[in-house]
Amino acid sequence: MKEVISFSDFDKLDIRIGTVTSAEKVEGADRLLRLMVDTGEEKDRQVVSGIAEHFPAPEVLVGRQVPVLVNLAPRIIKGIESGGMILYAVGDNFLYTMEPGEKNIPPGTAVK
């Protein structure tokens, strides 16, 4: 288990439901995908994620709804600015998207 945090630390996280609008491999990077995600803002958010080995056909992610940490400081990864982090369920031999279920949720809906 990682370090225990306070509720005020948790409350700093802005996690929103996003809908993946495009997904492609990052040229020259075996592990990276470039995802565009509708998070209910004026324009889609670009997120670079190290999940390519789990999604050899990245287009299967298009249309999926995923939780996105939207207030993470931007990072440049392989020359691409990543503006958030998609949350996944991760185990020893698996990685799954955490989708809200059967009902389509409006992009930008808060996760608490």
3-state secondary structure of 108: coil
Instruction: Report d(CA 7, CA 25) in Å as an integer.
Output: 37
* Cα–Cα–Cα angle for 69, 67, 33, rounded to 5 degrees: 80
Residue linked to tokens 């306070």: 6
Token pair listed for 76: 């440049």
pLDDT of residue 64: 95
Q: Structure pTM? A: 0.92
Structural domain spans, the chain: 7-111
Task: Pull the structure tokens for residue 37.
Answer: 């995600």
Q: What is the pLDDT of residue 1?
A: 85
Per-residue pLDDT tens over the stretch 6-61: 999 999 999 999 999 999 999 999 999 999 999 999 999 999 999 999 999 999 99
pLDDT by residue (tens digit) across 62-106?
A: 999 999 999 999 999 999 999 999 999 999 889 999 988 778 899
Helix (H) or strand (E) run with residue 9 in it: helix 7-11
Q: Which CATH superfamily is domain 7-111 in?
A: Nucleic acid-binding proteins (2.40.50.140)
One-letter amino acid at 38 equals D
pLDDT of residue 38: 98
pLDDT at residue 99 in the model:
87
Distance CA 109, CA 51 (A): 24
Residue type, 96: Y
DSSP per-residue letters across 46-103: EEEES-GGG-SSGGGGTT-EEEEETTSPPEEETTEEE--EE-EEE-SS-EEE----SS
